[in-house]
């Protein structure tokens, strides 16, 4: 089974998991990523500053991005 890694970026912080997770398919990896992201977003959105960005990426075995979910807080005016 393919091995995937999660990476989270928030401001100057970027960190990737050292231990990979195996998923049967890209679809299964996407499903797990959305579950994990959904669990984190409630607390993240409450502490997100204006004009900030948070993102989670799912990386393949070569540590290349496969999927990305971004939360962007923009000041329009």
User: Going residue by residue through the chain (77 aa), what tens digit of pLDDT does each one get?
Assistant: 889 999 998 877 778 878 899 999 999 999 999 999 988 888 887 888 888 889 999 999 999 999 999 988 888 87
The C-alpha atoms of residue 62 and residue 51 are separated, in whole angstroms, by 31
Neighbour count for residue 33 (Cβ, 10 Å): 21
Q: How many domains is the chain partitioned into structurally? A: 1
Return the pLDDT at 32.
94
Return the pLDDT at 74.
87
Domain that holds residue 22: 3-73
Task: Give the H/E segment covering residue 14.
Answer: strand 13-16
Smallest CA-to-CA distance from 5 within 51, 47, 56 is with 56
Q: What is the pTM of this model?
A: 0.81
25 touches 4 (CB < 8 A): no
């Amino acid at each position: 089974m393919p091995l995937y890694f999660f990476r989270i970026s928030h401001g100057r912080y970027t960190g990737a998991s050292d231990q990979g997770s195996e998923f049967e398919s890209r679809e299964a990896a996407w499903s797990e990523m959305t579950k994990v992201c959904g669990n984190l977003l409630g607390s993240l959105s409450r502490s997100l500053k204006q004009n900030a960005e948070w993102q989670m990426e799912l990386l393949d075995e070569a540590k290349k991005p496969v999927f990305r979910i971004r939360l962007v807080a923009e000041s329009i005016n």
